[in-house]
Amino acid sequence: MPCSSAIDISDAALDKKIKLTLDDLHLSNEQLTKIMKKMIKEMHKGLGKDTHDDATVKMIPSYVKSLPDGTERGSFLALDLGGTNFRVLLVKIKEGDKLDGKPKIEMDSQIYRMPEDVIVGEGEKLFDHIAMCMADFLKRLDLLDQRLPVGFTFSFPCQQDGLDQATLITWTKGFSAPGVVGKNIVKMLKDAIDRRGDMDVDIIAVVNDTVGTMTSCAFDDQECMVGLIVGTGSNACYMEKMSNIERVDSDKGEMCVNMEWGAFGDDGALSEYRNEYDAHVDENSLNCGKQLYEKMISGMYMGEIVRLVLVKLTDDGLLFGGKGSDALRTRGSFQTSYVSQIESAIPSGMTAVQNILATLDIGAMRHDCEIVIQVCRAVSRRAAHLCAAGIAAVARKIKASHPEQEVLRMTCGVDGTVYKKHPTFSDIMSEKVNELCAGADVAVNFALSYDGSGKGAALITAVAQRAINAEQ
């Protein structure tokens, strides 16, 4: 019997209690539509001058007003901080093949580990570490004495008052370095560079990774007006009419808005859709009560939700003979990568699933493996559907601002390990977005955005540098 039919949720072989447990992870189209409408409402609140402070979705102006037009040239340094790895890149935008007219992009990069004591230690120490990595990279390329424009991808919620001014609102994704929240992170980086005294760089732009993702995709696709990250964290951005951004003085043209949608639901708007596993994940996180939408979607939490469901089924005597293992009961032991590996392994049988469970000291029978696969499917499908509700909200919001277009076609550039490595996440999300946008005269296409945190940040810096040069 093929694996797919053996683990179907309606299969009579599955215990009724297992079905009930998995039902806690199912969201109907009616529920997703309600979530979509709640998101749109929060977007309007975030854009409003008088309602912004009470909005969970902060809709932060990025001050990115233009996307690449193909005339950008030069060498740029890009920094990428958004997790346990910090990356430094040299991005060169050169003249391309005369046949297609597109510029050629060359990149060189180095990844540096962010030690735990730096992630949770004093903020000044964190920026000193970043400056040290920058200097090491430039020294390797013999560029310490060359003045380079810098684009800094800083993938944490910030209030931006200009392209090169960003104040950290809150840490996410396991970071908790004190002395940074409420501070201008560009100034903190400049101070760290000045303390070293061995680099000549000019920080032109501070960029959220989501904005970089959209910009990177827009370089190749002129219809790209939405950016999405589904990786360690989750966030989205899109091009909004300036006239709708009440906290920005100008009403001409468009600007990219960094939604910071991970905090959607922090006011209780998602309470009826959250379950005991979501509550447990939140209670044991560093930022309890915050980023609740993100905690239902992103890679930092997906594996843990699966683990909690497996523990419950084991405690109920429905899985692993009711025994489990100490490893299974250890928080964080079931990695999100296991979810992708297990769902990818389905066509080849249960051996791959058994091997993964063996790393948790569990000897699993076929029936156990079938249940584990179904749990992984349920958790990842819910994440994809929740993400789809958010993107459908964005698509409908954009269409409402462009009533002159009979059918608005747009591309959403996407990056992140969950989107790239999970075997079905992208298809499930895309299908659900189209369902939720039915009748709205909007068509959403998804495209993998290559290296938005690196190439995207450099392109934003290049666009800004082009504008600076034009003014001079």
For residue 239, the cross-strand partners are 256
179 in Cβ contact with 208 (< 8 Å): no
Q: Which of 38, 45, 173, 290 is an active site residue? A: 173
Confidence of residue 249 (pLDDT cuts 50, 70, 90): confident
* pLDDT above 70 for 3: no
Tokens read off for 19: 């079905």
Mean pLDDT of 239-244: 95
Q: Is residue 209 annotated as a catalytic residue, yes or no?
A: yes
For residue 202, the Cα-to-chain-centroid distance in whole angstroms is 27
Instruction: Render 49-78 in DSSP notation, one character per residue.
Output: TTTGGG-SS--EE--------S---EEEEE
Q: Please give the residue that has the higher pLDDT: either 218 or 347.
A: 218
Interval 277-326: pLDDT, tens: 999 999 999 889 999 999 999 999 999 999 999 999 999 999 999 999 99
Please compute the mean of the pLDDT values over residues 78-98 and round it to a whole number.
87
Listing DSSP states for 237-297 in one string gives EEEEEGGG-TTSS--SSEEEEE--GGGTTTTTTTGGG--HHHHHHHHTSTTTTS-HHHHTT
pLDDT number for residue 219 = 86
Q: Is the pLDDT of residue 348 over 70?
A: no
What six digits make up the tokens of 360?
A: 């948790």
Q: What is the per-residue pLDDT for 451?
A: 81
Tokens standing for 233?
Answer: 């964290």
Q: Which two tokens stand for residue 138?
A: 């430039």
Is residue 232 within 8 Å of residue 299, measured between CB atoms?
Answer: yes
Structure confidence at residue 183 as a pLDDT band (50, 70, 90): very high
For the chain, give the percent of residues with pLDDT over 90: 74
> Mean pLDDT over residues 99-112, rounded?
84
Q: Which residue has the higher pLDDT, 187 or 68?
A: 187
Res 129 pLDDT > 50: yes
**What integer pLDDT is reported at residue 101 of this predicted model?**
66
Q: Of 17-31, 104-118, 411-425, 447-461, which range is least confident?
A: 447-461
pLDDT, tens digit, for every residue of 262-280? Answer: 999 999 999 999 999 999 9
Contacts 24+ apart (CB under 8 A), 13-21: 13/367, 14/371, 14/374, 15/318, 17/316, 17/318, 18/313, 18/318, 18/371, 18/374, 21/309, 21/312, 21/313, 21/316
Min mean pLDDT across 82-86, 124-128, 139-143, 147-151 is at: 82-86
CA distances from 9 to 21, 30, 313, 428 (A): 11, 20, 15, 17
pLDDT score, position 97: 64
pLDDT confidence tier of residue 14, bands split at 50, 70 and 90? low
With a cut of 50, say whether residue 5 has pLDDT above it.
Answer: no
CA dist., res. 205 & res. 459, Å (int): 10
Predicted local confidence at residue 6, as pLDDT? 38
The CATH class of the 74-219+452-464 domain is alpha beta
SS3 content of the chain, % helix, strand, coil (to 5): 45, 20, 35
Joined tokens for residue 387: 């993400």
The 8-class DSSP code of residue 14 comes to S
Distance CA 464, CA 472 (A): 13
The pLDDT assigned to 84 comes to 83
Residue predicted with more confidence, 378 or 252: 378
Q: How far is CA 33 from the centre of its chain?
A: 22
Catalytic one of 128, 209, 415, 451: 209
User: Using an 8 Å Cβ cutoff, are 90 and 107 in contact?
Assistant: yes
Contacts of 422 (CB under 8 A, 6+ apart): 339, 340, 343, 380
CA atoms of 313 and 305, how far apart (whole Å): 13
Give the mean pLDDT of 420-446.
Answer: 96
Which residues is 76 bridged to in the sheet?
91
Model's pTM, two decimal places?
0.86
Mean pLDDT of the chain: 91
Give the per-residue pLDDT at 347: 65
Residue 216 clears pLDDT 60, i.e. is over it = yes
